């Protein structure tokens, strides 16, 4: 499951705990969510500049789950993963539809907005492409 393995992060909805390279049980995350009902939306966001990973619940941004991860940017690939165990039905939106978290629909949050030189980034050698997979 995401969060159990090296360089992976996850928010597990069976126990509402966050995981980063932690197959042993994770850590408490937030009291803002304690159950999932049909129709609820869970989202995941990442701030490329400072390495903050956060989740959203029905359009509400939750507190940062992890900070300073997947840096330096030019050395890391960051991509989404979903882990499922058992039978379930769900929909996935990687940007083809409007996000429930409204800010996620703004250009600044789209991956395309992070390709190339970023304001405040210390290195001018970042280039116009995302890092290559290693």
For the sheet containing 27-28, what is the strand order? 9-12, 17-20, 27-28
Reduce the DSSP state of residue 33 to 3 states and report it: coil
Measured CA distances, 115 to 4, 11, 17, 95, 130 (Å): 28, 26, 31, 16, 6
Residue-wise pLDDT tens for the chain (134 aa)?
999 999 999 999 999 999 999 999 999 999 999 999 999 999 999 998 889 999 999 999 999 999 999 888 778 778 888 999 989 899 999 888 999 999 999 988 876 655 554 444 444 444 445 555 45
Name the nearest CA neighbour of 42 among 2, 101, 108. 101
* Confidence (pTM): 0.80
């Amino acid at each position: 499951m995401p969060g159990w393995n090296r360089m992976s992060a996850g928010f597990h909805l069976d126990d509402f705990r966050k995981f980063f390279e932690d197959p042993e049980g994770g850590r408490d995350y937030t009291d803002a969510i304690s159950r999932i009902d049909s129709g609820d939306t869970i989202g995941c966001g990442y701030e490329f500049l400072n390495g903050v990973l956060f989740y959203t619940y029905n359009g509400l941004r939750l507190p940062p789950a992890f900070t300073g991860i997947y840096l330096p940017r030019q050395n890391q690939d960051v991509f989404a993963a979903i882990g499922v165990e058992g039978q379930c039905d769900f929909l996935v939106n990687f940007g083809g539809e409007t996000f429930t978290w409204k800010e996620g629909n703004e250009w600044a949050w789209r991956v395309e907005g992070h390709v190339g030189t970023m304001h405040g980034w210390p290195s001018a050698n970042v280039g116009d492409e995302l890092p290559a997979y290693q």
